[in-house]
Structure 1
């Protein structure tokens, strides 16, 4: 199972410094809008996150993905199920969450079967969300290429900065990332919470 390593940067200055250091390795950048769905009792929130992510191209949604993120049975990483979603339909679900329950979607059926969310008694609501700017880099090291994602996440409550990398070799990659940030002169700490937890809490968590 791949583990997602997340390192929190303290401020915009650290983000700019790391962006400049990684600039020669940049693959692409894109803007994301993340929307979360649950029922009124927030049944899912304790164990999972049902998310619609829209990827913007020149200010308009170019594609969308429906995802269920939840803790796996073993204590490592995050289990995810994803499927593509028509961008126009994704926006329609944000305006009218009941449309989500009507999708011909394995994820929606899984949420109904395992969590009991999305039926007539527990209809979906949109909790809101946040926007994210992501820069994707490829870093070569002795163990092969790594894909790094540098995020600037804008919540209503403030902005956070984070470097992420998915890997099946977390201990080796931690050393690579620590060395990278030390050479770049960028302060950091390992994230103890994720973006969804910050969104739910209404404040920037460490």
Structure 2
């Protein structure tokens, strides 16, 4: 079970303000991209790097039963590494994913019956997400890993602060205080990026 705090930022100005505030804890910036979907659950190939055609690494992710309540997201998630060259092949030809020797593919085939010609994998499209990774270095939240996302869609740009944690209520209090100190407005996320992508509009 992946548990994350998701706080929505209203605009680019709030994103820039928080990014500047977090600069001392900057660990990395990356651009994962491109979801695949099958049946009722989200099946995603995520490419890491600045060049979609030459990713530094890739992962295959299966997510299901997402729930978001007051900014705390819970979703059943299975993740495994995927060879970047194979990942590109699957992005270009989603049906190729069905032939990959993978626990995730076997799980999806068994639970959702999406193997062979009966229900092949199809690509619903993709999106780019630029992510800044930060670590809180002092204070009550010391050691918390934060991810500040900017996700441009054709219909608008989504800005979000995320923090994966085993103690969501405590982490949420830390992030709320941090945003108050940073002077950045925010609201609790009630939907995820994939839901926005599928809806074709920015959701709260």
The answer, yes or no, to whether TM exceeds 0.5 is yes
Q: Which moved more, 1:142-151 or 1:81-90?
A: 142-151
In structure 2, distance between residues paired with 1:2 and 1:141: 25
What displacement does 1:130 show? Answer: 0.5
70, 93, 100: which one aligns with 2:97: 100
Task: Tell me which protein shows more strand as a share of its residues.
Answer: 1
In the other structure, the counterpart of 2:151 is 153
In the other structure, the counterpart of 1:3 is 3
Gaps of 5+ in 1: none
Aligned residue pairs total 198
Mark the CA change 1:197 to 1:21 in structure 2 (over 3 Å): closer, same or farther: same
Describe the superposition over 1:141-160 as per-residue Cα deviations: whole angstroms up to 9, x where unpaired.
Answer: 33541000000011222210
What is the DSSP-based 3-state SS (H/G/I as helix, E as strand, rest coil) of the residue aligned with 1:61? coil
What is the DSSP-based 3-state SS (H/G/I as helix, E as strand, rest coil) of the residue aligned with 2:126? strand
What is the DSSP-based 3-state SS (H/G/I as helix, E as strand, rest coil) of the residue aligned with 1:161? strand
What is the DSSP-based 3-state SS (H/G/I as helix, E as strand, rest coil) of the residue aligned with 1:168? coil
In the other structure, the counterpart of 2:123 is 126
- After superposition, residues 183-194 of structure 1 pair within 5 angstroms as 183-194=181-192
Runs of 4+ residues over 3 Å off in structure 1: none
Q: C-alpha root-mean-square deviation of aligned residues, in Å?
A: 1.8
Gaps of 5+ in 2: none
What displacement does 1:72 show? Answer: 7.2
Mark the CA change 1:185 to 1:7 in structure 2 (over 3 Å): closer, same or farther: same
In the alignment, does 2:37 pair up with 1:32?
A: no
The two structures have a TM-score, normalised by structure 2, of: 0.91
In structure 2, distance between residues paired with 1:2 and 1:179: 23
The two structures have a TM-score, normalised by structure 1, of: 0.90
Mark the CA change 1:174 to 1:57 in structure 2 (over 3 Å): closer, same or farther: same
In the other structure, the counterpart of 2:84 is 87
In structure 1, distance between residues paired with 2:113 and 2:140: 47
Indicate conservation of the 8 Å contact 1:130/1:156, yes or no: no
